[in-house]
Structure 1
Amino acid sequence: MPFTLATWNINSVRLREGLVRDFLAETHVDVLCLQECKSPVEKIPDFADAGFPHVVARGQKGYNGVAILSRSPLDEVGADDHAGLGHARHVAARLENGVTIHNYYVPAGGDVPDREVNEKFGQKLDYLTAMRDAFRAAPPARSILVGDLNIAPREDDVWSHKQLLKVVSHTPVEVDHLAETQAAGAWVDITRAHIPEGQLYSWWSYRAKDWDAADKGRRLDHIWATPDIADAARDSRILRHVRGWEKPSDHAPVLATFDL
């Protein structure tokens, strides 16, 4: 049975509950993975009346937080505290078809790309290293990894490769760490498998007066799959127009459909 999955950094699920409901009504996705929920699990809004009675989540007050909402039953299968940060940044669940979904919110890394002067940047690199080591220790199969990975890896995943080489999210050291993490799980970048050419963004800063006209975006949000199911994916897309909704997140949802 085909199912459509979306990943979206919502930047406060309680503040933007209405946007989530609008999105669910518009897209008819089957699974929605949210990051930066900024809420304890018990205070995450109930979306059962919108057709999503099944939820697995990790949360904390005011920061981080990840949730997987599903139309169909799913079983929680873990939540890793990579690098021992004590943050709610990962949760995993298995669908009835046996597919495991990993939902990640990788640390943003602060403003200075130097771990010697910026602790947050070091935490980001350590988190990615721990992800890599986890995939090497237990190679994933029949799995999908989604989330705000806070790195735009390709030159055409940012508005200006040259100008962003020293900006956190596109520095060579971050790109290398993400590539090692991806290789450790043999993950396939589903979005770029289907949209291989051209500028592609999922995030636009709040700082831009007119984000749409300026279009200084970055592709920070990703959908990956293991090789055994990657060929079952189709119809990858980024819903740019959602970034233009009233009081939006600074991220747009990323979607893909899997025939599984």
Structure 2
Amino acid sequence: MSNYLTVLLLAATLLLCAWTLHKVRQIHLLAHQLRDQADSAPAALFHQLEALDGLQRELQLDKSLPRTRGWAGSPDFLLELARHARSARPQLVVECSSGTSTVVLARCMQLQGAGQVYSLEHDAAYAAQTRAELARHGLSDWAQVIDAPLRTHQLQGESWLWYAAERLPAGLPIDMLVIDGPPQATGKLARYPAGPLLFPRLAPGAAVYLDDAARSDEQAILRRWRSEFPLLQQSRLACEKGCARLVNEELAADAQLAPALPQAMLAPQH
């Protein structure tokens, strides 16, 4: 019996040692992870400050931009939008959600002396806030925030909750499309409907920018778009939250795009 107890005690001791070593290794790995994060955090913050400064210079603003933290677009993402708008000079820009990016893009339209921004916004309070920011910067004539509540859309036999997109002006080709909504909390793959509902309206050479592209939902959306819209060339940009850029290299009326165009968008504007 004593030998049996000795073996049990030895086994228990070995198990305890193994468990302790496992925990020590976990703590060691966590410490290294925290150290790496601490080392990279100042560099990441400095990068965003550089982008914010570049954005202010690019836009030649005499007033500060709205906040660029939290739900708002990060400075590096906004700078990508501004640089594209300044070089490509789009005449019609559509946004899925409004905010700081609306001010940025409206300022680009003002600087080029032509163009209009239309921002779909489902939150009335947020829409009012964006309109106030546009007025503060003297940009109300260059951007329109459209109250577009979320409603159910039937796409390929599936139900999706997305903006009331028929409130956009009909018949005008989109030169630049920015997708930063609806919020992820509204449903799985919440931003997917922008593809079938808006991609058919893209002008030749139009660019699409998808924010938060590092998230798993957005990555799944991009895979689905790649399958359904093979004419759109996808690339990734190194932004804080991830950014995907899609370029329409063919006519928006191409047979692979046109069938998804909702009839409401083909109706003449009254």
The structure with the greater share of residues assigned to helix is: 2
- Scaled by the length of structure 2, the TM-score of the pair is 0.36
Structure with the larger strand share = 1
Query: TM-score, length-normalised on structure 1?
Result: 0.37
Structure with max Cα Rg: 2
Higher RCO, 1 vs 2 (CA within 8 Å, ≥6 residues apart): 1
